[in-house]
A and B are shown apart, each in its own frame.
Chain A
Amino acid sequence: MTITSLNNLFPSGTMTVTKSTAGATTSATISHSDNTNTASTSSIKLSTGGANAGDSFISVTNGVANYSYGLDNTDTDAFVISESTSPGTTNSARCDADGSWTYPSNSAFSVNTNGADAADVTGNDTIYTPHLDTAIFNAGADYDLGTHTYTVPVSGVYLFAGAIALTGGANLYWCIVHFTRNGSFVVEGLQGFDPTANTICANISHIYKYDAGDTATMSLRAGIALKTADFAGNVNNSYFMGALVA
């Protein structure tokens, strides 16, 4: 059917295009065929009445998963992409009115110590995984506070940063802090020794591609003396953190 009238109105507020033929696509097409004028736009406008009204959004579903995206009127007019049938419930992305994007469901963690030292953990080149078991944040709960291991939830590019402090190991010369991927070292940072305070501090950061299910840890080793160096529990000096960035 072709309807040629101008400004066709559906005053009931609803219109449905439906089909159940297997293998066919149900579609609504908004088309403007002119190719001579840059003002020849084609658009769908979703409009609500004002600040006291509801959201304007698009909902997409396959009958199993639901996503919606659009303007969330109850969240200071932010543009959101939500894992639900309406904006604002389980946002996976949010852009506020200033243009700042946040991704509430993205994996990220930051952990530090519980404040307690761990005695005699290295100093003779022994590899030690620090007891970083206090979460500052652990979005996605992908960092295991018991095993001190981060498990990558989705393939992507991740940023990791970490720092450690060792004390009490007389005659130490160096300390190396490592990041691992599936148990293998992927980056190391070396730091020297402060004999005045018997202290070594080291920090590293890196960006690396990880696959879903990969594990990441931070460990350290120091030498070349006896195994008398203590891991310092100072919460300001020792931490491990990471985030999905791309």
Chain B
Amino acid sequence: MPTINTVNNQFLNNVTVTTAVAAATSSVTIENLDNTNAASHAKAAITTGGASGGDAFIHFTNNVVDWTIGVDNSDSDAFVISQSATPGTTNAARCDTAGEWTYPLQPGFCAQKDADALNVTGAGALYTVVGNVETADRTADYSTVTGNFTAAVTGKYLLSASVMLKGNTIGYNTSNSIVTSNRFYYLESRHPASNENCAAGGSVIADMDAADTAYSAVKGEGEAGNTADFNGTTDNNHFSGALLQ
């Protein structure tokens, strides 16, 4: 097509720019060559008719996978990034009109154990806590069978845990442990030898590779044998985590 120099050119119907030449790029370029004025913008605008109209969006596809980014008119005008051919179906990110971002498919979980476990530590045994009650498990990455959280993707994860031991007689340490495939984190609560219940908690930012696991464990010390009990009151234990970045 020749060069068109007229102002405000309009196509009143669809426009398609296409090529099937291998290794060539099919492109639309919007350029402003001026470099003297800060108002010399280059803009692609996508607009729809109003609140009762449709969505305004960009659709990326390689004809295998679809992604869209744009305004979801039927979702309070949120700006969304979706794993589909239209906004609002399988949102991976959503920003509401107040600017608050949420990530509906981001891994995140919280699990608790609702039953005591008797005589599990006290003389140094490491007891793995298997939370059987999930208050969150957005992408089903936590197992209530093994107590393992499995990283969906390589990244940095916030992991938090709290535990409580009871049945102590002369215990002096409750070591809340977060164990990942890469390393141990000990979050210990030490005290004079005591027969009191003892709680410990804490958080770490853990490096995890895809398919790495993390679990919560507790080690009591000071008893003559492993006679201390894990306190299964859900207010007193949890293991939670989320992908941070």
Contacts and interface: CB of A to CB of B under 8 A. Distances in A.
A13 B27 contact: yes
B47 A29 contact: yes
Nearest to B24: A13
B49 to A, nearest CB: 3
Interface residues of A, number: 107
Given A101-B243, A192-B192, 10 more contacts: A13-B17, A31-B47, A35-B49, A43-B68, A71-B61, A97-B83, A99-B104, A99-B106, A102-B243, A237-B186
Contacts of B57: 41-44
B97 interface: no
B42 interface: yes
Contacts of A237: 186, 188
A34 B15 CA distance: 18
Contacts of B98: none
B181 interface: no
Contacts of A212: none
Contact of A21 (B34, B73, B192): B34
B9 to A, nearest CB: 5
Contact of B16 (A3, A9, A32): A9
A201 B61 contact: no
B145 interface: no
Interface of B: 1, 4, 6, 9-21, 24-37, 39-65, 67-70, 73-74, 81, 83, 86, 90, 92-93, 103-107, 139, 152-156, 158, 160, 172-173, 182-193, 202-207, 221-222, 243-245
B40 A22 contact: yes
Pairs A-B, 7 closest by C-beta atoms:
A99-B105, A13-B19, A194-B190, A35-B49, A41-B54, A35-B50, A201-B188
Contacts of B16: 7-10
A51 B160 CA distance: 40
A34 B53 contact: yes
B86 to A, nearest CB: 7
A114 to B, nearest CB: 15
Given A8-B14, A47-B62, A203-B187, A32 B33 contact: no
8 contacts: A9-B16, A22-B34, A24-B34, A96-B153, A97-B83, A99-B106, A110-B205, A110-B206
B135 to A, nearest CB: 20
Contacts of A65: none
B51 A56 contact: no
B29 A13 contact: no
Contacts of B28: 14-17, 28
A9 B204 contact: no
B105 A98 contact: yes
A103 B202 CA distance: 24
Nearest to A109: B205
A25 B187 contact: no
B32 A20 contact: yes
A143 to B, nearest CB: 12
Contacts of A25: 32, 39-43
A193 B204 CA distance: 22
